[in-house]
């Protein structure tokens, strides 16, 4: 199994920055005032139109919108075609050139707005779609207890977890700069070992299952346990063998649980879709709880980044990855990320970020639209890392190395 498959394989060419990176991706607020939301109130605020005038304006809108959609479809088809061409070149070990990318920015709609119907129909009543709850740390702990009769070993303090992570990351080959700056970006520079996306900086509702310094999703944890499991079991077994007394008993128990979890992660095909399906079950939540353990958690956090470093090396990229480059691979998947990382600076200045998106993901991402070249996207990532690296959590992690 190629190492890049540990990252988001189903979207390896879709730059959809995860909600774990909510400090970077900011969506515009939507109005919620019920006084302006109904068709009747919208009509009252607009200048009244005759039916004939409305139909004329509607035709103008439809013509403009149709012309835009035609241009946009052609653009995004070209993006997909260029991507297929780059993939084919890589398979044949042919160098990628500037003309292997679409070098223009996506078209934007600048025509008239859709006019307000002077005789609006009442909207069809639809039952509200129930929102599927996102499991939080308490749910993970409960699942681990119910399905594996086990509870992750919490650190005595936050700094203890940071020290454990720093020791393992450094020994595995990550640099302090990579670890600290990625942490600064992913958690905003203040996150604890159990920080969850959405439940930080005053947030009250989880927006994804991303947890920890490097914001592992449940599917990430399952992927890592399936693909790196034997290595993790071996390392934990060695630690257990070096222990004695109650510590040895606890470690032996943890090794036994980890073996069961690895076997469960490997009970489905080694494919992202299968792991994603498993992640949506209480048993999958139980596996995700391992990221909270003082011994196994630092291993999982490290390997989430280390696989990208190793992937780059196997592809012949020997220069150390900057933290921003590593984060691009961490966020977008190794294949897409390496496409940006291996690009010379002169090309980064010219290649639009749209080359690494599908249309829907791009149009929902104001950061990629605003910072619309590879160079600009890497620069805003670096800037965010710079500002967050001075915050208490980042300074504490830095001092742990």
User: What does pTM read for this prediction?
Assistant: 0.79
**Residue 179 pLDDT more than 50?**
yes
Helix (H), strand (E) at residue 243: none
- pLDDT band (50, 70, 90) for residue 19: very low
Q: Note every long-range contact of 112-116, with CB atoms under 8 Å and residues 24 or more positions apart, other chains counting.
A: 112/57, 112/60, 112/61, 112/64, 113/61, 114/58, 114/61, 114/65, 115/49, 115/54, 115/57, 115/58, 115/61, 116/42, 116/43, 116/46, 116/49, 116/54
Assigned token pair, 279: 């992640």
Structure-block tokens of residue 145:
């207890």
Confidence of residue 47 (pLDDT cuts 50, 70, 90): low
Q: Angle, to 10 degrees, between the axis of helix 296-314 and the axis of helix 176-187? A: 110
pLDDT-derived band of residue 43, with 50, 70 and 90 as boundaries?
A: very low
State yes or no: pLDDT of 125 exceeds 90: no
Q: How many angstroms separate the CA atoms of 161 and 186, rounded?
A: 17
Element (H, E) at 80: helix 51-91
Among 30-44, 150-164, 254-268, 302-316, where is mean pLDDT lowest?
A: 30-44
Is a pLDDT exceeding 70 seen at residue 13?
Answer: no
> Of 148, 127, 146, which is closest to residue 256 (Cα–Cα)?
148
Mean per-residue pLDDT for 33-47? 43
The overall average pLDDT reported for the chain is: 87
The stretch 160-187 carries a mean pLDDT of 96
Over residues 337-349, mean pLDDT: 92
Residue length of the chain: 401
Q: Which residue has the higher pLDDT, 37 or 96?
A: 96
pLDDT at res. 252: 96
Whether 249 shows a pLDDT value over 90: the answer reads yes
Please check the confidence at residue 4 and state whether its pLDDT lies above 80: no
- Quick: pLDDT tens for 254-296: 999 999 999 999 999 999 999 999 999 999 999 999 999 999 9
pLDDT of residue 384: 95
For 198, the 3-state DSSP assignment is coil
pLDDT at position 48 = 64
Percent of all residues in the chain with a pLDDT value above 90, rounded to a whole number: 70
> What are the pLDDT digits (tens) for 71-117?
999 999 999 999 999 999 988 989 999 999 999 999 999 999 999 88
Does the structure show a pLDDT above 90 at 11?
Answer: no
| Percentage of the residues of the chain whose pLDDT score is greater than 70 | 88
**pLDDT higher than threshold 80 for residue 323:** yes
Q: Is the pLDDT of residue 400 over 50?
A: yes
pLDDT, average across residues 201-229? 92
Kindly report, residue by residue over 230-248, the tens digit of the pLDDT.
999 999 999 999 999 999 9
β-bridge mates for residue 352, sequence order? 373
pLDDT beyond 60 at 352: yes
Q: How far apart are CA 268 and CA 285, in angstroms?
A: 16
pLDDT band at 41 (very low <50, low <70, confident <90, very high): very low
Task: Quickly tell me which residue has 């991706």 as its tokens.
Answer: 25
β-pair partners for 373: 352
* DSSP3 helix / strand / coil % (the chain, rounded to 5): 60, 0, 35
């Amino acid at each position: 199994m190629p190492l890049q498959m540990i990252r988001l394989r189903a979207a390896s060419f879709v730059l959809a920055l995860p909600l774990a990176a909510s400090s970077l991706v900011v969506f515009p607020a939507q109005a919620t005032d019920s006084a302006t939301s109904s068709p009747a109130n919208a009509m009252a605020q607009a200048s009244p139109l005759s039916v004939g005038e409305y139909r004329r304006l509607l035709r103008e809108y439809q013509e403009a919108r149709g012309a835009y959609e035609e241009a946009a479809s052609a653009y995004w088809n070209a993006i997909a075609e260029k991507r297929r061409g780059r993939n084919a070149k890589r398979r044949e070990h042919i160098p990628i050139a500037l003309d292997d990318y679409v070098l223009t920015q996506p078209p934007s709609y600048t025509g008239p707005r859709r006019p307000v119907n002077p005789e609006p129909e009442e909207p069809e009543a639809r039952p509200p779609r129930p929102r599927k709850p996102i499991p939080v740390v308490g749910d993970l702990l409960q699942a681990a207890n119910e399905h594996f009769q086990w509870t992750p070993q919490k650190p005595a303090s936050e700094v203890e977890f940071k020290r454990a992570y720093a020791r393992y990351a450094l020994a595995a080959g990550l640099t302090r700069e990579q670890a600290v700056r990625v942490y600064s970006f992913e958690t905003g520079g203040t996150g604890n070992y159990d920080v969850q996306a959405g439940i930080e900086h005053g947030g009250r509702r989880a927006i994804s299952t991303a947890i920890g310094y490097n914001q592992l999703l449940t599917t990430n944890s399952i992927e890592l346990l399936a693909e790196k499991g034997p290595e993790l079991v071996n390392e934990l077994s060695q630690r257990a063998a070096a222990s004695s007394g109650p510590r040895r008993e606890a470690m032996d128990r943890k090794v036994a649980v980890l073996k069961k979890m690895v076997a469960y992660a490997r009970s489905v095909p080694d494919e992202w879709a299968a792991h994603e399906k498993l992640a949506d079950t209480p048993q999958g939540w139980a596996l995700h709880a391992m990221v909270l353990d003082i011994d196994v958690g630092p291993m999982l956090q490290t390997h989430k980044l280390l696989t990208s470093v190793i992937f780059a090396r196997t592809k012949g990229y020997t220069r150390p990855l900057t933290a921003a480059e590593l984060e691009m691979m961490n966020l977008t998947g190794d294949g897409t990320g390496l496409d940006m990382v291996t690009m010379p600076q002169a090309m980064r200045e010219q290649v639009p970020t749209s080359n690494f998106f599908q249309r829907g993901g791009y149009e929902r991402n104001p950061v990629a639209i605003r910072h619309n070249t590879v160079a600009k996207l890497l620069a805003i990532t670096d800037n965010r890392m710079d500002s967050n690296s001075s915050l208490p959590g980042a300074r504490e992690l830095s001092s742990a190395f």
